[in-house]
Structure 1
Amino acid sequence: MAPMGIRLSPLGLAVFCLLGLGVLYHLYSGFLAGRLALFVLGDQAERAGPGGPDAAPGSLPEGTVDLRELLAVSVLAAVKGGEEVKRVRESNALNEKAKGKTREGAEEKMTSGDVLSNRKMFYLLKDAFPSVQINTEEHIDAPDKEAISWDRSIPEDIKKIIQPKKVPAESVTVWIDPLDATQEYTEDLRQYVTTMVCVAVNGEPVIGVIHKPFSAYTVWAMVNGGSNVKARSSYNEKTPRIIVSRSHAGKVEQVARQTFGNKTVIIPAGGAGYKVLALLEVSDKKQEKADVYIHVTYIKKWDICAGNAVLKALGGHMTTLTGEEISYTGSDGNDGGLLASINVNHKALVDKLPDLEKASHK
């Protein structure tokens, strides 16, 4: 029997040819798409580079941190710490203890609010940036490690203002104050209480966060970056309102009145964070307003670093009483007193108040 042949009708032949052309077209299209994808990805990689502006959070080169990310997690840490501070105060479970005396002989207090806020803030920052040095007011016990993580999201208000900025991790020091104004906290003077985070780069304060737990108000700023707060439109240099520590008001009052006259107003207040906010334009109705902030005794750096960064970002100043810049490396305290101002001639203030520097050593 003769082998059977395959015959294609003219219509079948046309269909066969069309199918073949379709397969070739799809193969060629896939090849072009692949080449285009490689080109786009290569271009993105070249623009972004390792840790470049288009890089995803957490994908920075080893040993590098992004200050915008550090600002975002610092704000979150201050808020989370503030939640603990508020919860403890409202439940009246302070468990108040004495933890020593200040150089002036005053008793320093510690509460559960200090401890729990400190734990929350420290471990949140440490989990997000394990290679960064963190200095905090309260002692951290390893068995009490808090399991808390940052989801790497950056709030929209920070995204709109702050650009990414990479710095070596070894140049960064974070200062945490988990509860500023503990004395006032125990007295239930809630308006003075803040939680604060500061980031210093090579000893210079560049990020400041001040959070008021009982009014849910947060101020943040980055030097040469931006802020969510502004300086007030006017300040009085001739007869300034001077905000000072409640425990040292008398030392400042006499010199201030001799310098600026009897109309000078002295405002005793608690908490370094509260006093810095007094120099700014804030919406918190319980916040007093002042033109100058003066402190005449030794003060810890976690008390003042955040305020220093905020003022510096807004064009203000925080120095020792002799006008020297404060370095946020080395020891945890500042011996030279404190003079803080904004939108006034800071050097003129330093020159006008020479006797305050002497008062700081009495």
Structure 2
Amino acid sequence: MAPMGIRLSPLGVAVFCLLGLGVLYHLYSGFLAGRLALFMLGDQAERAGSGLDVPPGPLPEGTVDLRELLAVSVLAAVKGGEEVKRVRESNVLNEKAKGKTREGAEEKMTSGDVLSNRKMFYLLKNTFPSVQINTEEHIDPPDKETVFWDRSIPEDIKEKIQPKKVPAESVTVWIDPLDATYEYTEDLRQYVTTMVCVAVNGEPVVGVIHKPFSAYTAWAMVDGGSNVKARSSYSERTPRIIVSRSHAGKVEQVARQTFGNKTVIIPAGGAGYKVLALLDVPDKKQEKADVYIHVTYIKKWDICAGNAVLKALGGHMTTLTGEEISYTGSDGNEGGLLASINVNHQALVDKLPDLEKASHKQT
């Protein structure tokens, strides 16, 4: 009897072919997935080896990482500073008057203010769109900048600061794109800074103060770390007091009566500069002081970054009556300012009511 052959119907052949194609497809898909995973791991290893930060996974919705905010704040202050320096060195400031202070002093605005503000605001806003940002200068929609963060975190920040996630709704960022504009127009470059501050529930927790003309940046995070230190010694009995150039006369006489005739009064421009005077800053043009006093109204974007830096280093910045300053609500601080570090802050506060009263009697 002849052996029987195996016959497949056309339908069977089609089914067989489809099964075979399916197996090949899954094998090939697995191969591609494996190659893609190896490529991504290799890319991450290459980025890590180059010193760039490997982008972390997405944060939970409505959450921001304060370490990332610090990194972007440093970058924003530096980028804003580049605009400030470029405009000043071009000597084309396009200077304009934008009003008067409560004391009658003229407030100025330049191209340096505008361009720095634009760069800083949009770098922060494009990176953290859900965070409230308060800035000194007005932003016009046609001036929108397409600047973004590359997700890299500087090594000194990674070494000292751990990730810390907070609700985005609790965060307010304060930008000062050019502190000491009046001095900037006079070409007194040593007083000029760009600053960013991050407040959480009204408390300053991240501060960045950048000096564009000396390429120096001080940063700090409360309960985190800092790249700047307090000086080794301060005088509490006969302090060197740094004050606003425009209000020096209102403070000097009573300060000498309160702290003694040996008290040195240092008139200076810029709140950022005055805070750095309390710290160990490697800049020969930076004055050194023991106490910073301001006796009139001052905007919060002027002082928030300095407040955060001092707080992170164990210092204090309060009103003249010793009250903590809240960085929510209005953009101004009504109660004057007292800043110190490594001295008895409350003892200074106890001496200041006479200073505050007398300063209002001066002309």
Q: 1:92 to 1:34 in 2, by over 3 A?
A: closer
Q: 1:31 to 1:231 in 2, by over 3 A?
A: same
Q: State the 1:160 CA deviation.
A: 0.2
Q: 1:187 to 1:61 in 2, by over 3 A?
A: same
SS at match of 1:210: strand
Q: State the 1:31 CA deviation.
A: 15
CA deviation map 1:23-51 (0-9, x unaligned): 999999999999999999999999999x9
Q: Distance in 2 between matches of 1:293 and 1:263?
A: 17
CA contact (8 A) 2:195 2:209 kept: yes
SS at match of 2:323: coil
CA contact (8 A) 2:250 2:360 kept: no
Which stretch shifts more, 336-345 or 249-258? 249-258
Q: State the 1:285 CA deviation.
A: 1.3
CA contact (8 A) 1:53 1:164 kept: no
Q: TM-score, normalised by structure 1?
A: 0.86
Q: State the 1:251 CA deviation.
A: 1.1
Q: Distance in 2 between matches of 1:15 and 1:202?
A: 66
Q: 1:9 to 1:320 in 2, by over 3 A?
A: closer
CA contact (8 A) 2:254 2:358 kept: no
Q: State the 1:302 CA deviation.
A: 0.2
CA deviation map 1:60-85 (0-9, x unaligned): 00100000000000000000000000
CA contact (8 A) 1:209 1:310 kept: yes
Q: 1:120 to 1:42 in 2, by over 3 A?
A: closer
CA contact (8 A) 2:254 2:359 kept: no
CA contact (8 A) 2:123 2:147 kept: yes
Root-mean-square deviation (CA), in Å? 7.0
Q: State the 1:354 CA deviation.
A: 1.6
Q: Report the equivalent of 1:169.
A: 168
CA contact (8 A) 2:51 2:155 kept: no
Which stretch shifts more, 9-18 or 40-49? 9-18
Q: 1:42 to 1:4 in 2, by over 3 A?
A: same
Identity of aligned residues (%): 93
Q: Which runs of 5+ in 1 are unaligned?
A: none
Q: Distance in 1 between matches of 2:28 and 2:131?
A: 51
Q: 1:342 to 1:28 in 2, by over 3 A?
A: same
CA contact (8 A) 2:88 2:112 kept: yes
SS at match of 1:188: coil
Q: State the 1:11 CA deviation.
A: 40
Q: 1:33 to 1:81 in 2, by over 3 A?
A: closer
CA contact (8 A) 1:58 1:152 kept: no
CA contact (8 A) 1:293 1:341 kept: yes
Q: State the 1:170 CA deviation.
A: 0.2
CA deviation map 1:60-116 (0-9, x unaligned): 001000000000000000000000000000000100000000000000000000000
CA deviation map 1:250-294 (0-9, x unaligned): 111111100111110000000000000000001111111000000
CA contact (8 A) 1:210 1:220 kept: yes
Q: Report the equivalent of 2:302.
A: 303
CA contact (8 A) 1:120 1:146 kept: yes
Q: Report the equivalent of 1:37.
A: 37
SS at match of 1:353: helix
Q: Distance in 1 between matches of 2:52 and 2:82?
A: 33
SS at match of 1:105: coil
Q: Which runs of 5+ in 2 are unaligned?
A: none
CA contact (8 A) 1:297 1:361 kept: no
Q: Distance in 1 between matches of 2:25 and 2:117?
A: 65
CA deviation map 1:180-220 (0-9, x unaligned): 00000000000000000000000000000000000000000
Q: State the 1:6 CA deviation.
A: 17
Q: 1:54 to 1:3 in 2, by over 3 A?
A: farther
Q: 1:224 to 1:12 in 2, by over 3 A?
A: same
Q: State the 1:355 CA deviation.
A: 1.8
CA contact (8 A) 2:258 2:355 kept: no
SS at match of 2:175: strand
Which stretch shifts more, 245-254 or 202-211? 245-254
Q: Distance in 2 between matches of 1:137 and 1:18?
A: 68
Q: State the 1:358 CA deviation.
A: 2.4
SS at match of 1:5: coil
SS at match of 1:253: helix
SS at match of 1:148: coil
Q: State the 1:357 CA deviation.
A: 2.6
Q: State the 1:57 CA deviation.
A: 3.3
> What is the aligned length?
361
Q: Distance in 2 between matches of 1:91 and 1:218?
A: 23
SS at match of 1:100: strand
Q: State the 1:297 CA deviation.
A: 0.6
Q: Distance in 1 between matches of 2:91 and 2:357?
A: 41
Q: 1:183 to 1:22 in 2, by over 3 A?
A: closer
